[in-house]
Structure 1
Amino acid sequence: MFNSLLFTVMLVVFLGILSQWLSWRIKLPAIVVMSVAGIIVGPVLGIINPEQEFGDMYGPIISMAVAIILFEGSLQLDLREIRDLGKPVFRIVTFGAFIAWILGSLTAHYVAGLSLPVAFVIGGLFIVTGPTVILPLLRQAKLKPRPAKILKWEGIIVDPIGVLLALFAFEIILFFTDESVTLQTLLLFFGAAAFATLLGWGCGRGMGWMFKKGYIPEFLKSPVLFAVVLLCFTLADEVMHETGLLSVTAMGMTLANMHIASMENMRHFKENISVLFISTIFIMLTASIQIETFTEIINPAIIGYVLLMIFIVRPLSIWLSTIRTDLSWQEKTLVGWIAPRGIVALTVSGYFASVLFETGFEDARLLTALTFALVFATVCVHGFSIGWVARKLKLANDSKPGIIVVGGNLFTRELVRALKEMEIPALLVDSSWKKVMKARQGGLSTFHGEILSEQTEYTLDMTPYETIVAGTESDAYNALICSTFTPSMGAKNLFQVASERELASSDEKLTHTVGGRILFNQTATLQNLISQLENGYVFRKTLLTDQYSYDQFKKEIDAEDTIVGVLKAAGHFEPFALDTEIAVQAGDTVVRVSSASREKEKIHQKSKKALRKNGDA
């Protein structure tokens, strides 16, 4: 009943996105969940086999998806990001890649039993990690910026380098084994690689120039860019197979370093497309694996090869290539441990397995099993361990989720002070040096700069912070801050303080469609809050217990008090917003702005009542 190509497409897409959501809910690596899902519906249950059902379209679909994913990843390679990491990154993607190639090839020959020609081809391919596996892991692990940047840059840059090394090894094999292949053929290989690089650079510069000059309208920028990416990839790939990956990487890096303002909006759109492609392609690849492959994987030689690649080859290549760099031993250890292989290794190894077998190398039939064993082992081992290893090496941001408060007025300063007292990481950000100095003199953590500036992205480490509170005197600026950070932080984590004009406005739709969530209550405007603090109001914290509930607390506080938020028993702080009701339980601490004099009067009245009771007794 469901034996149709439409059903296969639906199931692949649905399972891919379901795997992403499930991994988010149960805190498991997404690539692990996707791999397991693909294996279950493919070789285990036999529900689908995308490679057979897609037929001749299977290869081109995979190739185009990989091209888009690699291009989207290379758009993040702004050279300003690694100003302090240029040396180790360069060493890892050059010397480190070369060392990994040699050691991996020798391991494949002496341990897995492959012939030297086949071993050097697959050894070059297996140095790749790639954005399809690295970026999802980095999103989940929340590493500190330095190791995260190194892993991201290596994963994206080494992808095409690994493929080129494999192609180079294959051309050398043909040069020595096939009399029809001459030195001119080898020169053609280097020419094709140079052409692919120049083509990518030219397409990137051309698109950047057209964007800057306004020759492409905003609504067509993303579609045109996608079309040019596919054009760039296909032209290079037609000249020489697999050089298209190098071309799209060069194009993405070129655009990333032209610093075009409108690229930021398109980048978020392409990130969403990339997640969709990664999810579906992983399901397609794992669901297409033959059941016989699993019997080959349990070969002791293959298991030994995988273990040596994980525990010896990768760490050794990183440690040797980063000698005399400023990387700490903890950073070297983490980078040397994390190297999951992904889509590029699976797809390109299939191509080399077929061409090597046709050339006469019988042992090339083992490449599929060898590749899948390494991919699945590294995906699982590194996916499950990255967070634990990072925490042990103190390279993970395992502190409480922090809050960035934008604005240097009295209310924002007192809010940051209250958060600091609750041991919540809080940072006050303002472009006014005078306001920043006033907060800094009060012992608060501050950052002087424009939060919306592109430069701030490279000077302010925002990794520890998951929430932004926009509390400046300008409604439009607050809304712009929240709208700008919506793609990266999520709308539920962006808040802005209301103003008199905003709450009095009859156009309520503006509040719901532009900017962040409005804080506190209908009377708690920024002007009122500042006025209250100037007149003796203070931030107060009340611990709720089984005997003293939230309902009882709300009955006893004054009508003019403002509930700011709740410090949950788990340790994170949730601001109180108009559009939601926080679930408050015993053990939580409610934070409010309250009158100091009235609070003293309440305490005095309670004391008098207690004394009268004792006197009566």
Structure 2
Amino acid sequence: MDDIVLKLAVIGAAGIAAQWFAWRLQLPAIVLLLAAGFIAGPATGFLNPAADFGAIYRPMVSIAVAIILFEGGLTLNFKEIRETSTAVRRIIMYAGPLTWVMAAFAAHHIGGLSWPTAIVLGAILVVTGPTVIMPLLRQAQLDARPASLLRWEAIVNDPIGALFAVVAFEVILVYIGIHEADNLIVLLLAGFAVAIVGGWLAAKLIVWSFVRGHVPEYLKAPVLLASVVAVYAATNTLLEESGLLTVTVMGMVLANSRIASLTDMRRFKETITTLLVSGVFIILTASLSIDDIRSLDWRAALFVASLLLVIRPVAIMLATIRSGATMQERLLSAWIAPRGVVAVAVSGLFGTLLADVGVEDAGRMVAFTFAVVVTTIVLHGFTLAPLASFLKLKKASKPGILIVGGSRWSTALALKLKEAEIPVMLADQNWNHLAEARLASIPVYFGEVLSESAHHSIDPKSFSNLIATGDNDAYNALVCTDFGPELGRSHVFQIGRIDEKARKALNFTLGGRSLTKESVSFLDLREKLLNGWTFQLTRLTDEFGWDAYEASRPEGALILLWIKPSGTIVFAATSSNTPGQNDRILSFGLPKDDARAEAASKTARKAEEISASQATNDEGSKAS
């Protein structure tokens, strides 16, 4: 027992460490997870999942895959697929079967596998793995259309590919005389019907119970997680692997339902999925033996090459003719098709089942699948971002700022940021508040940024920071609280007077960070703007460094942020460092001439007050 606990702890620690190093080094996380699994399994022999976990090994992986697919279904909102729906539909309906047929022929004639193994392997390789594509999309920063195309294909095709494998396996059983054809047709039709209807009914039941208040808020995420496992297990009793389709449908229905707490549940599911993806990849890679690796010869290499360079491109280019997708999007989809957890898990299952019915080379199917998984993860992981840049399908790499709350002050701030070539957008639900910004050609969003429609119109990943500048401190705090988990709590800021004592009494997850070190309110900033204060952008040089800037800065000027030569934005209120050479400092204060005049005026007024005070004292002395 202690040995199993130790190995589970190592799997968890290695998975999260791989994710962190991938984030830190800007590498595909899946590549590091594969490396961690290989080291833990075939390289050192520390981990042998089938022997270590025994009978619970395969059920454990199956449930993890079901939860991963359900979480993927939660990201599929129909509003975001309007522009690419035809392309996605054709890829699923036409490219999937084409891939199955061509991959089966290639596996038999090029890879040297028997027909039963080749047919099942071709079905499995229809999947394109959300467990792989989602982390890659997160790092590649694609435009909305190609990202939507790849994400929808990956999530919807995963359960379909698994069901193709079920159909292929059942057909083989009929061919060798174990099952009857009539029973097979009834079983498949019933399985598909129960999977789709069961997923829809389960989702509607959850929506009804949540909306009517039959489940308390703190139990919603646990109830959802338990329901996914229960629905998956129930559907699987009728038809093997049909539960994957059920949970995907369930997630899609929930994603398009109006549930107020769905965002919080989605974040919980994302956390669980990150842990599961990390652990499952390490476990499945560790289950690969040295003999499996040695069984891969030049024919396996030719099969993988044909799959990547011929089969996938031909299937996608034929399926997307006149689909509305651009040639650049079609080329990207034709190359990017990484396989992941589902492919490995399903191949392991059917490899065992085929071996049980006497197919001699069934064990090679797992090795072939791993060869495809490793090759596609490495190649597509390192080429997605460069290819997207070459095809001009990548978002602007510069970090942007979303400003919520239209006013003269926020418009002036947006203008100065635009002058500094920082992507910026101004959002407000009052059309008049955006008038000056529209006249200045500043991108605007008219509507409520906290609404569901805003989530699909404004891609939060296009902006690395948010500043809430409205005249209502509570609303500013609400906006920062909502966007904090998406952008990172250290990247959401708000204006307004913040009483530190009261701030500490609040939950630290509420609100954002103060935009300025000094406590200033919306009215203070508006009054300063009316009194002639402006935004100023100053570049530091060798001759004019930080100390010189500090000495020359007008009295009371507020330093908001500085922009480094790389484009990185550093907010003054949260940084303990000082700007360096070639950094551009954005401040808000009086122009220097006006500042000198105001200082002289203050000095004169103070001198007059001193003179008046002395005169009063002199008169008092004479009287006494």
TM over 0.5: yes
Corresponding residue for residue 68 of structure 2:
69
Change (3 A) 1:431 1:358: same
Q: Does 1:129 align with 2:128?
A: yes
Offset of 1:283 from its aligned partner? 0.8
* Contact 1:16–1:276 (CA under 8 A) maintained in structure 2: yes
Change (3 A) 1:361 1:507: closer
Superposed CA RMSD in Å reads 1.8
* Contact 1:51–1:284 (CA under 8 A) maintained in structure 2: no
What amino acid is aligned across from residue 317 of structure 1 in structure 2? A
What amino acid is aligned across from residue 471 of structure 1 in structure 2? T
1:584 alignment partner, one of 556, 565, 579: 579
* Contact 2:112–2:299 (CA under 8 A) maintained in structure 1: yes
Corresponding residue for residue 468 of structure 1:
466
Corresponding residue for residue 615 of structure 1:
none
Q: Give the Cα separation in 1 of the matches to 2:356 and 2:409.
A: 73
Corresponding residue for residue 79 of structure 1:
78
Corresponding residue for residue 391 of structure 1:
389
* Seq. identity, %: 39
What amino acid is aligned across from residue 255 of structure 2 in structure 1? A
Change (3 A) 1:524 1:235: same
Q: Does 1:540 align with 2:536?
A: yes
Q: Give the Cα separation in 2 of the matches to 1:547 and 1:45.
A: 58
What amino acid is aligned across from residue 125 of structure 1 in structure 2? I
Corresponding residue for residue 138 of structure 1:
137
What amino acid is aligned across from residue 424 of structure 2 in structure 1? A
Secondary structure class of the residue paired with 1:591? strand
Corresponding residue for residue 28 of structure 1:
27
Corresponding residue for residue 225 of structure 1:
224
Offset of 1:601 from its aligned partner? 4.8
What amino acid is aligned across from residue 342 of structure 1 in structure 2? G
Q: Which runs of 5+ in 2 are unaligned?
A: 601-624
What amino acid is aligned across from residue 23 of structure 2 in structure 1? W
Could you report, residue by residue, the CA deviation over 1:44-64 in whole angstroms, capped at 9, with x for unpaired residues? 012222221011111111011
What amino acid is aligned across from residue 567 of structure 1 in structure 2? I
Corresponding residue for residue 288 of structure 1:
287
Could you report, residue by residue, the CA deviation over 1:122-167 in whole angstroms, capped at 9, with x for unpaired residues? 1011010122111111111110000101111111100110011111
Offset of 1:511 from its aligned partner? 8.3
Could you report, residue by residue, the CA deviation over 1:247-287 in whole angstroms, capped at 9, with x for unpaired residues? 11111112112221111111111101100100011111111
Offset of 1:572 from its aligned partner? 2.7
**Aligned residue pairs, count:** 598
Offset of 1:600 from its aligned partner? 7.7
* Contact 1:172–1:186 (CA under 8 A) maintained in structure 2: no
How high is the TM-score relative to the length of structure 2? 0.93
Could you report, residue by residue, the CA deviation over 1:224-249 in whole angstroms, capped at 9, with x for unpaired residues? 11111111000111222111101111
Secondary structure class of the residue paired with 2:131? helix
Change (3 A) 1:309 1:463: same
Offset of 1:576 from its aligned partner? 2.3
Q: Give the Cα separation in 2 of the matches to 1:174 and 1:50.
A: 29
* Contact 1:76–1:253 (CA under 8 A) maintained in structure 2: yes
Structure 2 matches for 1:250-289, cutoff 5 A? 250-289=249-288
What amino acid is aligned across from residue 153 of structure 1 in structure 2? W
Secondary structure class of the residue paired with 1:240? coil
Offset of 1:505 from its aligned partner? 6.6
Q: Give the Cα separation in 2 of the matches to 1:507 and 1:465.
A: 26
Could you report, residue by residue, the CA deviation over 1:532-556 in whole angstroms, capped at 9, with x for unpaired residues? 1111111112211233221332233
Offset of 1:178 from its aligned partner? 1.0
Could you report, residue by residue, the CA deviation over 1:557-602 in whole angstroms, capped at 9, with x for unpaired residues? 133111111011112322322x432442111011111212536859
Q: Give the Cα separation in 1 of the matches to 2:93 and 2:321.
A: 13
Q: Which runs of 5+ in 1 are unaligned?
A: 606-617
What amino acid is aligned across from residue 590 of structure 1 in structure 2? I
1:488 alignment partner, one of 471, 486, 489: 486
* Contact 1:492–1:517 (CA under 8 A) maintained in structure 2: yes
* Contact 1:536–1:595 (CA under 8 A) maintained in structure 2: yes
Change (3 A) 1:356 1:464: same
Greater Rg over alpha carbons, structure:
2
Q: Give the Cα separation in 1 of the matches to 2:507 and 2:437.
A: 30
Q: After the TM superposition, which parts of structure 1 deviate over 6 Å for at least 4 consecutive aligned residues?
A: none
Secondary structure class of the residue paired with 2:120? helix
Structure 2 matches for 1:518-533, cutoff 5 A? 518-533=514-529
Secondary structure class of the residue paired with 2:416? helix
Structure 2 matches for 1:99-498, cutoff 5 A? 99-178=98-177, 180-297=179-296, 299-498=297-496
Secondary structure class of the residue paired with 1:451? coil
* Contact 2:142–2:393 (CA under 8 A) maintained in structure 1: yes
Could you report, residue by residue, the CA deviation over 1:184-221 in whole angstroms, capped at 9, with x for unpaired residues? 23321221221122211111111111011110000111
Change (3 A) 1:11 1:178: same
Offset of 1:345 from its aligned partner? 0.7
What amino acid is aligned across from residue 145 of structure 2 in structure 1? R
* Contact 1:145–1:463 (CA under 8 A) maintained in structure 2: no
Could you report, residue by residue, the CA deviation over 1:66-115 in whole angstroms, capped at 9, with x for unpaired residues? 11111111011111121222111111111111111111111111111122
Q: Give the Cα separation in 1 of the matches to 2:177 and 2:500.
A: 82
Could you report, residue by residue, the CA deviation over 1:8-35 in whole angstroms, capped at 9, with x for unpaired residues? 0000010000000010011110000000
* Contact 1:175–1:183 (CA under 8 A) maintained in structure 2: no
Corresponding residue for residue 611 of structure 1:
none
What amino acid is aligned across from residue 349 of structure 1 in structure 2? S
2:513 alignment partner, one of 506, 511, 517: 517
Secondary structure class of the residue paired with 2:47? coil
Could you report, residue by residue, the CA deviation over 1:292-337 in whole angstroms, capped at 9, with x for unpaired residues? 122122x011000001111111111111111011111110011111
